[in-house]
Amino acid sequence: MFPEEGAFVITGGNFFQNNYHERRDGFNILSAAASPSAFFDAAHHADFPRCHENTQLAVVEKIIDWIEGKSDTEASIMWLNGPARSGKSTISYTISNILHRRDALLATFFFSRMDSSRNHSRFLIPTLAYSIAVTCPGARPMIESVISNDPTILHQSPDNQLARLILDPLQRLQEAGIAYPHVIVIDGLDECLDISGQRAILDGISTMLARYRLPLKVLVASRSELVISSSFNTGTLCSNSIRQSLELQRRFDAWENPLFFFESYEPFKY
């Protein structure tokens, strides 16, 4: 039997049970802050459209080539942009599926302006960190410890969160020679309703990726709205990114889905 609480001192070794509980608290806090509906494989995405066979092949192949390091660029961020209904989310989803099957998908976040759990920047990093904790068992205890030691991390700047919850743990895996999936997909950044958050996300990702030099690739899909396009046209983001533009696709939808013409007509968009 243990003597009464506080009456003994443990020297040496690890009091694992205590650490375990602290870390589990960290994981619970993280999962409460994450937004499961933003995952590419969230239940409500089950009927999400995938690219019809032989559509957007060139774009999908170009993105996969870039991810696999087969294109002649060192850029670690790709901006998939195009007008409303041009197929950005369909491609993001298709790419996520392909990468998931190849064990190359680290985390995803699908913004949606109509869903209050995924239309604000504050959900992004906790959701990505949660996915990484689940996808990379080696990273999980590190992420949990950061949060249990400082739960306010989830209210700190995106840069702090990105560094401490995502990049530091991945760097430690890297240093230990542990492989991990390397692609993050962020869809619909224009649907993040806090505009300053859109800029902070892009600045944070580009600055931090340049600083850490991890083998990560980040696919960002959005409409070409001013804040986003000006972020991609300046600073580190400009030099560390490539872009892929889409035109409004009507060809396959015209035949396969007659409603497409109405859906794609701007006033019916939402």
Ligand X SMILES: Nc1ncnc2c1ncn2[C@@H]1O[C@H](COP(=O)(O)OP(=O)(O)OP(=O)(O)O)[C@@H](O)[C@H]1O
Pick between residue 160 and residue 229 the one whose CB is nearest to ligand X.
229
Question: Could you give the 3-state DSSP secondary structure of residue 50?
Answer: coil
Alpha carbons 133 and 145: distance in angstroms, whole number: 11
Segment interacting with Mg ion, rule: CB under 5 A, options 29-37, 54-62, 84-92, 257-265: 84-92
Q: Is 85 in the site for ligand X (CB under 6 A)?
A: yes
Task: Using CB under 6 A, pick the residue from 76, 81, 89, 121 that binds ligand X.
Answer: 89
Indicate which of Mg ion, ligand X, none lies near residue 197 (CB less than 5 to 8 Å, by partner kind). Answer: none
Interface of this chain with Mg ion, residues 176 to 195, rule: CB under 5 A: 188
Decide: is 94 part of the binding site for Mg ion (CB under 5 A). Answer: no
Quick count: other Cβ atoms within 10 Å of Cβ 52? 15
Measured from the CB atom, the residue of 20 and 261 that comes closer to ligand X is: 261
Instruction: Please state, in angstroms and rounded to a whole number, the distance separating the CA atoms of residues 54 and 45.
Output: 22
Six token digits for residue 167: 């990049």
When CB distances to Mg ion are compared, the closest residue is 89
Q: Considering CB under 5 A, how many residues would be counted as binding Mg ion?
A: 3
Task: Check the CA dihedral 28-46-191-193 and report its sign.
Answer: negative
Which residue in this structure is represented by tokens 């533009």?
A: 245
Candidate residues 151, 223, 224, 229; the one interacting with ligand X per rule CB under 6 A: 223
DSSP string computed for 188-205: -GGG-S-HHHHHHHHHHH
The residue of the chain with the least Cβ separation from ligand X equals: 87
How would you classify the pairing of strands 217-222 and 105-110?
Answer: unpaired
- CA–CA separation, 77 and 232 (whole Å): 10
Q: How many CA atoms lie within 13 A of 67 on its CB side?
A: 26
Spatial separation of the C-alpha atoms in residues 115 and 117, rounded to whole Å: 5
By CB under 6 A, is residue 112 in contact with ligand X? no
Q: By the 8 A CB rule, do 221 and 80 touch? A: yes
CB of 248 to ligand X, least distance (A): 9
Residue closer to ligand X by CB (options 94, 161) is: 94
Q: How far apart are CA 90 and CA 82, in angstroms?
A: 12
Map the footprint of ligand X across residues 147-186, applying CB under 6 A: none
Give the shortest CB-83-to-ligand X separation in angstroms. 7
253 binds ligand X (CB under 6 A): yes
Closest CA to 86 of 259, 246, 261: 246
Task: By CB under 5 A, tell whether 89 contacts Mg ion.
Answer: yes
264 forms part of the interface with Mg ion (CB under 5 A)? no
Residues 54-83 that bind ligand X (CB under 6 A): 55-56, 82
According to the binding rule CB under 6 A, does residue 88 interact with ligand X?
A: yes
Least distance between ligand X and beta carbon 257 (Å)? 6
What is the dihedral sign for C-alpha 48, 252, 220, 228? negative
Residues that bind ligand X (CB under 6 A): 49, 51-52, 55-56, 82, 84-90, 188, 223, 249, 252-253, 257, 260
Q: Would you tell me which residues interact with Mg ion (CB under 5 A)?
A: 88-89, 188
